[in-house]
Amino acid sequence: MPLALVTGASSGIGRATAIALAQAGYSLILTGRRYERLAELAQQLTTPVHLLTFDVRDRAATEAAIASLPEAFQAIDVLINNAGNAHGLGPIQEGDVADWDAMLDSNVKGLLYVSRAVLPGMTQRQRGHVINIGSIAGHEAYPNGNVYCASKAAVASLSKSMRLDLLPHGIRVAEVNPGAVETEFAQVRFKGNESRAAAVYKGFQPLRAEDVAEVIAFMVTRPPHVNIAEVLLLPAAQASTMHFKRDA
C-alpha cells in the first residue's frame, strides 16, 4: 500500500486530500497543529493512519516529528506540501510585519523544512512524488496581496527547482495552483471577521476543497512515467486573480 504524508491535514484542502487519498488506497501520515481535528479525521478513514502534531514553521519540531515515524510509516511515496496561510490584506507600506513573518515562515520555510526532512528517504529509494500547493496568486499578483503573492511565487519557483534537482532520482515534482476555494482561508486572513470572509465568495460559486483534492488524487495515481507538473484550477466564474463573474 503506497504511503502519503499530508501537511495541514486538519482542515480545508489538506483534510479533503487525506480523504481522497485514503479512498485511492493510500496509507497516510497526517500532520497539523490541531490534534483533535486530526484524530477526528483519522476515525473516519479505513486506511492505516499515523498522526503527527507540529507546526511546520518550527524547524526542530518538524525534524523531530519526521524522525519519530515508526518503521511502517517511514517509506513515504507521496508528499503533499499543503500547510500554509494568508494573513492580512493591505498595502505594502501599511503591512503588519508579524503577518509577513507568519506567511513566509509557513508558506515558504515550512515547505522547505518538511521537504528537507522527507526527501533524503525518497532519494535513497530513488522514487517519490512531491506536490506543492501553490496559488494563482503565485503567478498573478493582486493589489494588497503583496507578501502572500510573493510567498506563493516562491512556491512556484521552488517547485521548478525541485523538479530539476530531483530528476536524477526519479522523483516527480508538481504544483497545484487553486483560485478561489471556500475554506477557512478567508477567515484566517481576516482574523475571524466572518462578514469580510463571506464577501470574498459572494455572488459566485467558488471551488470546494474536495475539487482540489480530486485533482491531487488524479495526479498521484498516474503511471510512473507521467508527471502532471503544473495545474491551474479555477472556478468557472474566475478568470484571473481579480476577474470574477458575480451575480448581480
Answer yes or no: CATH 1.20.1250.20 is held by domain 3-233.
no
- On the 0-12 / 13-18 / 19+ scale of CB atoms within 10 A, 248 is exposed
Q: Are 111 and 5 in contact (CB under 8 A)?
A: no
Question: What is the bridge-based pairing of β-strands 128-133 and 171-178?
Answer: parallel
The per-residue pLDDT for 227 is 98
Give me the mean pLDDT over the 196-210 stretch. Answer: 92
Catalytic residue status for 148 = yes
The grid coordinates of residue 187 equal 477567515
Task: Assess contact for 122 and 171: CB atoms under 8 A.
Answer: yes
Burial label for 91, CB within 10 Å (0-12, 13-18, 19+), is exposed
State pLDDT tens for residues 20-36: 999 999 999 999 999 99
- Residue 246 has what pLDDT? 95
Is the pLDDT confidence value at 192 over 90?
A: no
Share of the chain above pLDDT 90, in %: 92
Q: State yes or no: pLDDT of 248 exceeds 80.
A: no
pLDDT at 223 over 80: yes
Which cell goes with 15? 483534510
pLDDT at residue 86, as a whole number: 94
Which one is catalytic: 26, 113, 148, 201? 148
Print burial letters for 36-71: b (CB count within 10 Å at least 16), e (below 16).
ebbeebbeebebebbbbbbbbbbbeebeebbeebee
